[in-house]
A and B are shown apart, each in its own frame.
Chain A
Amino acid sequence: MTTKTLRLPENLRQAVQELSVAEHIEEATAMRKLLSMGYERFLADQYRAGHISLREVASRLEVSLSDALERLQHLGITGNTGAADTLASLESLRPE
């Protein structure tokens, strides 16, 4: 692990303390947990926007593809191919 020094606004300092008390963990552990949750949310947003693939999400979270899918689902993201992709997909196939 590396050591980083950062300034926290009051609301984030309180958030760290709140998590620390709620889960009976040290503030440093609480901070790492919040950072990790934030990073997961960031990756989920990147995936939803189609900027990164499921593989990249899995790789950055150091989990399997299956676990990455479940984590994304937990955050309410169930795939990143939308209506236009679906219609284009249908049209791209040879006629039945």
Chain B
Amino acid sequence: MTNCVRMITMEHMNVAMDADCLIKLTKAGLKEAICDVWHVVIPPLVRDETVTRGRGLPDAEQIQANIDSERIIVAEGNPDGQIKHHIKGEDAVLELFRGGGFDAIASDDARFVRRLRTLAVPHAVPAVLVVRMFRERVLTVEEALDALDALRGHINADQYAVARVIVAGEEGR
């Protein structure tokens, strides 16, 4: 099955992403694959954190290129058209999610993830994005394991191990 065919078999998920997750996916070379299958939206503050403040860095340039090509969407205002000035990217991401139309928040920050658990907000750490792509047959088991290996140097070892066990354990189901 080609990537093109696989993509259209997967229901699009709308994801509000924070800077931590976006940078890790970029460094792992997985951002394009994620953006191909999900609508990735970031608030302006996350763009500032990843692009403006990272100016000159390779990952900042890649993220800017994805924004320019609209593979990553920057939500310029809340539903009322107002732009709130947040100090923290997490607050901006949560507000974006609460504006509606999102299936999950993607983050790899422990404190933010625990806050999302408390608030019962659907969320995905980077390795879970890969597991989800595997479960929805966007990635084969080999591709999913390769993707996890690419992420390995950027995520917690336990996160990597759990995701790898899940993918390997579900092979052939």
> Could you tell me which A residues sit within 8 Å of B by CB distance?
50-55, 64-67, 69, 73, 78-83, 85-90, 92-94, 96
Contacts and interface: CB of A to CB of B under 8 A. Distances in A.
Contacts of B124: 89-90, 92-93
Contacts of A52: 111
Identify whether the interface residues of B are mostly helix, strand, loop, or mixed: helix
A88 B111 contact: no
Given A50-B114, A85-B110, A79 B128 contact: no
Given A69-B27, A80-B156, A53 B54 contact: no
Q: How large is the interface on B (under 10, 10 to 19, 20 to 34, 35 or more residues)?
A: 35 or more
Contacts of B113: 81, 85, 88-89
Nearest to A72: B154
A90 B169 CA distance: 15
B104 A93 contact: yes
Given A55-B89, A88-B117, A92-B123, A69 B111 contact: no
Contacts of A90: 124, 128, 131-132, 166
Nearest to B112: A53
B54 A66 contact: yes
B136 A96 contact: yes
Contacts of B24: 69, 79
